[in-house]
């Protein structure tokens, strides 16, 4: 079986979707049965995909402007991807829009449906195409990959897709060791993720300012992740009193630096309005960092009872949760141990196994329909 995976989300900065694509591809190659081959597809005018980006996978890299190809694929569903890749059996999209194909089974991936409720939080082609086109593409796909039970429920309810046509393929976390102790000095309150409206960083900054009023010796707040234009006002606020000198804005963090960053954290906070999964929360728990997260979206499942869940619209509640966790070493120890146990269920090998099962089901279902 020859499977084509859209690698474009991982071509530059590997944030959530890109990290999912890269790590899943790596695990798929590592566990590939005889006769299975993985093809990573990319198209860009400026950026090139390295042939060895995932050792063991083949690469199809075309110098085509992203906007041009997306416009043709999204709107006209042409040209078929086989014109770039040669024959394939499976065309796996990293997003909720189909990859056009002559003969391959076509799967889409839905991480969340925030683009339906809040298109203003999105940009460029996502704002233009996803709300209008994704519902139809998802319903026509041979199978739908979702990353959590929460997303599956939303796709069933909002897009009228039966559960029987969905496969839940959660992300994994790296097999990092459990840290032996908290940082003796230089600890921080950590947020990791793109600084964009959906991540609700403004409420975190509000909560941290309230925390400083009660606890002037609180660890600094570290905001790590690419800063979008919509977050510039928040960044500017962190440079003014009383936050000046207490908040670090680090920008994008390369994957190889994440473990070091978690090593600095006394507590990790993810107050997002919605998450399809919330990989940074699971990664933090894997290393033993206590997690405070929003009680919205998939975070209730990803964090579970191992973390502290708060209303993401309530800055006062988030500030109180931070104060309680920072003040109680025994509580942090319990959250460390519970978080590690909970996070160990999320492995990339499991992701690869789930994806492979989804592809087989898609092929079987199409064969049955045509037979």
3-state secondary structure 65-124: CHHHHHHHHHHHCCCCCHHHHCCCCEEECCCCCCCCCCCCEEEEEECCCHHHHCHHHCCH
Q: Single out the residue of 277, 188, 186 nearest to residue 224, CA to CA.
A: 188
Per-residue pLDDT of the chain (371 residues; tens, 9 = 90+): 999 999 999 999 999 999 999 999 999 999 999 999 999 999 999 999 999 999 999 999 999 999 999 999 999 999 999 999 999 999 999 999 999 999 999 999 999 999 998 888 777 788 889 999 999 999 999 999 999 999 999 999 999 999 999 999 999 999 999 998 899 888 999 999 999 999 999 999 999 999 999 999 999 999 999 999 999 999 999 999 999 999 999 999 999 999 999 999 999 999 999 999 999 999 999 999 999 999 999 999 999 999 999 999 999 999 999 999 999 999 999 999 999 999 999 999 999 999 999 999 999 998 887 76
Whole-angstrom distance, CA of residue 167 vs CA of residue 362: 10
What is the pTM for the complete model shown? 0.96
Whole-angstrom distance, CA of residue 245 vs CA of residue 271: 22
Residue ranges and CATH numbers for the domains of the chain are 2-172+348-370 (3.40.50.2000), 188-343 (3.40.50.2000)
């Amino acid at each position: 079986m020859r499977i084509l995976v859209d690698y474009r989300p991982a071509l530059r900065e590997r944030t959530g979707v890109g990290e999912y694509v890269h790590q899943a591809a790596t695990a798929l190659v590592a566990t590939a049965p005889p006769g299975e081959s993985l093809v990573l597809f990319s198209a860009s005018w400026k950026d090139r995909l390295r042939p060895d980006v995932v050792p063991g996978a083949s690469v199809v890299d075309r110098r085509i402007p992203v906007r041009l190809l997306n416009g043709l694929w999204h709107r006209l569903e042409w040209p078929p991807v086989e014109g770039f890749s040669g024959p394939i059996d499976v065309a796996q999209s990293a997003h909720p829009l189909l990859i056009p194909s002559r003969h391959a089974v076509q799967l889409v991936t839905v991480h969340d449906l925030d683009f339906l409720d809040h298109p203003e939080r999105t940009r460029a082609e996502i704002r233009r195409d996803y709300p209008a086109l994704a519902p139809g593409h998802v319903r026509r796909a041979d199978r739908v990959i979702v990353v959590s039970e929460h997303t599956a429920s939303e796709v069933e309810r909002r897009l009228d897709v039966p559960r029987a046509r969905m496969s839940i393929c959660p992300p994994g976390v790296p097999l990092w060791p459990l840290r032996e102790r908290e940082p003796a000095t230089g600890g921080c309150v950590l947020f990791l993720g793109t600084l964009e409206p959906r991540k609700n960083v403004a409420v975190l900054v509000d909560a941290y300012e309230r925390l400083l009023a009660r606890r002037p010796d609180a660890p600094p707040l570290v905001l790590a992740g690419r800063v979008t234009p919509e977050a510039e006002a928040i960044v500017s606020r962190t440079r003014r009193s009383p936050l000046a000198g207490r908040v670090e804005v680090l920008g994008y963090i390369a994957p190889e630096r994440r473990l070091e960053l978690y090593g600095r954290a006394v507590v990790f906070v993810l107050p997002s309005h919605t998450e399809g999964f919330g990989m940074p929360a699971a990664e933090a728990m894997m290393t033993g960092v206590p997690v405070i997260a929003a009680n919205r979206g998939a975070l209730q499942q990803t964090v579970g009872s191992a973390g502290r869940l708060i209303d993401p619209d309530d800055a006062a509640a988030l500030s109180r949760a931070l104060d309680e966790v920072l003040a109680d070493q025994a509580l942090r120890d319990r959250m460390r141990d519970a978080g590690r146990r909970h996070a160990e269920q999320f492995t990339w090998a499991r992701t690869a196994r789930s994806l492979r099962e989804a592809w087989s089901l898609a092929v079987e279902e199409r064969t049955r329909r045509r037979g």
